[in-house]
Amino acid sequence: MSTTDPGTATDDGTSTDPGTITDDDGGSRPPRHKEGKESKEGPARLEITDLVVSFGGLRAVDGVTLSVEPGAIVGLIGPNGSGKTTLLDTVSGLVAPAKGSLMLDGEDLADYLPEERAALGLVRSFQDCRLYPELTVQDTLMLCEDARRSVSVLATTLQLPWARRAERDKARAVDRVIGSFGLDRFRHHLTGHLSTGTRRVVDLASIVLAGPRLLLLDEPTAGIAQREAEAFIPLLKRLHDVTGSTILLVEHDVPLVFELCSMVIVMQTGSVVVSGSPDVVRDDPRALAAYLGASDAALNVTGPVPPPT
């Protein structure tokens, strides 16, 4: 993918033509989200219907149907290989489904590329926390702002008034998110020198700057120490409060999911076994058989789950 024709800059530094996207076959077309449609605001609604994803003869996702309401936090749990991450990959456009539909606010995502889905407010995190180790925390977050609100090199070099204002606005946005996530003391530390847990926090801060409407979180506590994992419930609540987004969360830490999510979905071998509120799922024998009963340790990662009343 590449962008051709950067467009014409107006006096305030904006572009009148976002350019065209060049497809792999050499053809070009305008970004789909620009075709006569205004960018929507607020949390998004996701609807998945009869979704099938196959790798050879294996059905990694097998007829999944679910709805994620605007502003909700929905947790996906299940054993390894149950299709959770593949489901996120498909929603974000990294994997193409063999069958079924994905609708964002009633709009079919079938022909949207990953970057076009991102332009609609669909943001996805990854288990391996993809940060540049040679950049500081501040530079990493500024890079996120530069990607979202780019200013031409020429305008920056010439110190045009609107370019200076744009740079000040980006610096203020970075300062706000650093303060919100308690990263002040790490501001000038290289991300490669941070603990895994702190890198995860930087990743969450970068997500806020992306302005998500639908956020796909894949194992945000993977590989971090127990003490750091316990701090992630308030951090994720803060992320939800700050962004106001809809969140679809994949996580092995069951108590975290039950504490954070209004709805929990249990998957096994590519299918949804049971879904409902945490209390309903906790007591469902199908959920116990599929995952919750597989290991007592799974229920006590961040602390004991209180017995149902």
Q: In the chain, what are the domain boundaries?
A: 46-132+194-300, 135-189
Burial 180-192 (b: 16+ CB within 10 A, else e): bbebeebeeebbe
User: How far is 169 from 218, CA to CA, in rounded Å?
Assistant: 30
Give the Å distances, CA to CA, from 299 to 241, 262, 265, 284, 292.
Answer: 26, 18, 16, 15, 7
What per-residue confidence (pLDDT) applies to 24? 40
Task: Determine the average pLDDT of the residues in 56-84.
Answer: 94
User: How far is 167 from 66, CA to CA, in rounded Å?
Assistant: 41
User: How far is 305 from 259, CA to CA, in rounded Å?
Assistant: 9
Asked if residues 170 and 156 have their Cβ atoms less than 8 Å apart, the reply is no
User: How far is 55 from 85, CA to CA, in rounded Å?
Assistant: 14
**Residue 69 CB burial class (10 angstroms; 0-12, 13-18, ≥19):** middle
Structure tokens at 40: 């929507």
Predicted TM-score (pTM) above 0.85 = no
Task: Render pLDDT for 266-289 as a digit per residue (tens, 0 to 9).
Answer: 999 999 999 999 999 988 988 888
- Tell me the CATH number for domain 46-132+194-300: 3.40.50.300
Work out whether the CA dihedral 202, 82, 264, 309 comes out positive or negative.
Answer: negative
User: How far is 120 from 40, CA to CA, in rounded Å?
Assistant: 8
What per-residue confidence (pLDDT) applies to 162? 52
Checking if the pLDDT of 129 tops 80, the result is: no
Amino acid letter, residue 176: R
Q: How confident is residue 70, by pLDDT bands cut at 50, 70 and 90?
A: very high
The residue written with tokens 């999911």 in the block is 257
Task: Determine the average pLDDT of the residues in 91-107.
Answer: 95
Task: Render pLDDT for 225-264 as a digit per residue (tens, 0 to 9).
Answer: 777 777 888 889 988 998 899 999 999 888 899 999 999 9
Asked if residues 136 and 193 have their Cβ atoms less than 8 Å apart, the reply is no
User: Which is higher by pLDDT, 173 or 120?
Assistant: 120
What per-residue confidence (pLDDT) applies to 113? 94
User: How far is 212 from 118, CA to CA, in rounded Å?
Assistant: 8
Q: How would DSSP label each residue in 248-296? A: EEE-S-HHHHHHH-SEEEEEETTEEEEEE-HHHHHH-HHHIIIIITT-G
What per-residue confidence (pLDDT) applies to 154? 54
